[in-house]
Chains A and B, each alone.
Chain A
Amino acid sequence: MLATGVVGAVEDPWIRWSWISGHLDVIIAALLQHIQLTLIAVVIGLVIAVPLGLVAWRSRLFRGPIFTLTGILYTIPSLALFAFLLPFTGLTVLTAEIGLVSYTLLILVRNIVVGLNAVPDEVREAARGMGFRPLAELARVDLPLAIPAIMAGVRIATVTTIGLVTVTALIGEGGLGSLIYDGLLREFHTPLVVGTVLSVALAVVADLSLAGLQRVVTPWARSRAVP
């Protein structure tokens, strides 16, 4: 066994179809967990980022600290962030989600601010001239016009989160990352390849679906060609 370890690793094919057909339930469960972890992170991320983004947009005083704080969270490597939380929240979904949400904040807040800043002053003037109150102007003029930038942020945050979820395999979660980690621990290629391919496919499908969603919610932008 010892002597054949190296040889075995070399002879192991990249894909063993029999393993896949025998472990479909495991693969599907991993995929579903991956989607769940991602969805929770992006939704909670948005719930936190929208008010933060509005404050950063409106208040010069808070803009700097908000960008600095979310920037620091974004810069701390994922494994280190999980390690910071582990002694306190343990090997739980909570640890994984706090980390994942932290990474979405900078992307979402930045794009919300960039989108709102891009609303032309004339449009805002016109809304005010038509008698819009500040809150109505925000809800019916500013935010709708910022949707393309905000959606771009949601797409980046989603794709980034899908990649980061794989790292949570190291703290006992992982979704498809648990297949990748399994492949690493057993030096068995098939789960590694399956986990990687499905993770990339999930990122692509999520990105395209969000692009489709963006077209549906911004019908006025459809005729405009994207440069």
Chain B
Amino acid sequence: MSFIGQVAQWFQDPAHWQGDGGIPHRTLEHVAMSGVSVLVAALIALPIGIAIGHVGKGGNLAINISNIGRAIPSFALLVLAAQFFGIAAASQIVGFGAVPAFVALVALAIPPMVTNSYIGMREVDPDVREAARGMGMRERAVLLRVELPIAVPFIMAGIRTSAVNVVATATLAAEVAWGGLGRFIVDGLGLQDYPQLFAGAVMVAVLALIVEFSLAGLQRLSTPAGLRPSKSTQKEEPVAALDTAAVAA
């Protein structure tokens, strides 16, 4: 039988769709862990980035944090978290295995969100800010009704970058005794069961692409109508500019 046929057969085996080790449960684990990690990271990162951007001080910190974040290998972060909390201890307490993965994923998700929300706030034209103040808007209204709507596409870009990173790294978390879809890849690798390995890779890739494309769509929708580029003047997405800016600075 061809290799692809073996992979198809693996997917068709009812045993792979049942129980704690089945595809539905592993998918749910992966999605839940990624979702909660991104949410918690957003609650920490966005207020920091927005505050720094609004005040306009500490910009270097906001920009450099994502460079530092990029330099720390996510795999190392996971293994460090696992050892810090102790894998041996972790596997003895039910459900505790998720803690090291969760901590590493949150830490990983924070930097891009801080940097992008800061850059989004700095993108606001100072004249626009002045005009808002001149119209008698209070500081709160300037922030909520002028700065934030302009910054939202950038904030969304940061959330998207982090979310895709988190989904990818949650896959690696199978190496530190956690579940998720990475389990199929890591177990397939360990058992030299290539159909399982390949099937796991398909599911992880599809999940990552769904997250990327749906958040990209959300990012476009969240751009205020007046700021949307017309078809003829369409530019590269802000992420490219952000990455360039982040390192050039």
Binding between chains A and B: yes
Q: Which residues of A come within 8 Å of B, CB atoms? A: 5-6, 9-10, 71-72, 75-81, 83-84, 86-87, 107, 110-111, 113-114, 117, 148-149, 152-153, 155-156, 159-160, 162-164, 166-167, 169-171, 177, 180-181, 183-184, 187, 189, 192, 195-196, 199-200, 203-204, 207, 226-227
Inter-chain CA distance A5–B92, complex, in Å, is 12
With A87-B194, A180-B79 already in contact, the answer to whether A10 and B86 are too (CB < 8 A) is yes
Inter-chain CA distance A180–B77, complex, in Å, is 10
Q: Give chain A residues whose Cβ lies under 8 Å from the Cβ of B204.
A: 76-77, 79-80, 83
Q: Give chain B residues whose Cβ lies under 8 Å from the Cβ of A80.
A: 168, 171, 185, 200-202, 204-205, 208
A122 to chain B, nearest CB (A): 19
Name 17 A/B residue pairs within 8 A (Cβ), A-sorted: A72-B209, A77-B169, A84-B198, A86-B189, A111-B243, A114-B241, A114-B244, A156-B70, A159-B70, A160-B70, A180-B75, A184-B79, A187-B83, A189-B83, A192-B76, A200-B72, A226-B248
* Chain A contact surface mostly: helix
CB distance A184 to B83 under 8 Å?
Answer: yes
CB distance B198 to A87 under 8 Å?
Answer: yes
With A83-B198, A83-B201, A184-B83 already in contact, the answer to whether A111 and B244 are too (CB < 8 A) is yes
Q: Give chain B residues whose Cβ lies under 8 Å from the Cβ of A160.
A: 70
**Contact partner of A192 among B70, B79, B241, B244, CB < 8 A?**
B79
* Chain B residue at smallest Cβ distance from A193: B80
CB distance A167 to B172 under 8 Å?
Answer: yes
* Chain A residue at smallest Cβ distance from B185: A83
With A80-B171, A80-B185 already in contact, the answer to whether A107 and B243 are too (CB < 8 A) is yes
CB distance A152 to B197 under 8 Å?
Answer: no
CB distance A81 to B88 under 8 Å?
Answer: no
A81 to chain B, nearest CB (A): 7
Q: Give chain A residues whose Cβ lies under 8 Å from the Cβ of B70.
A: 156, 159-160, 163, 203
Q: Give chain B residues whose Cβ lies under 8 Å from the Cβ of A163.
A: 70-75
Q: With A110-B240, A162-B73 given, can you name 18 additional A-B contacts, CB distance below 8 Å? A: A10-B86, A72-B209, A76-B204, A78-B168, A79-B168, A79-B201, A80-B185, A83-B185, A83-B197, A86-B189, A86-B198, A107-B243, A152-B243, A163-B72, A170-B189, A180-B73, A183-B83, A187-B83
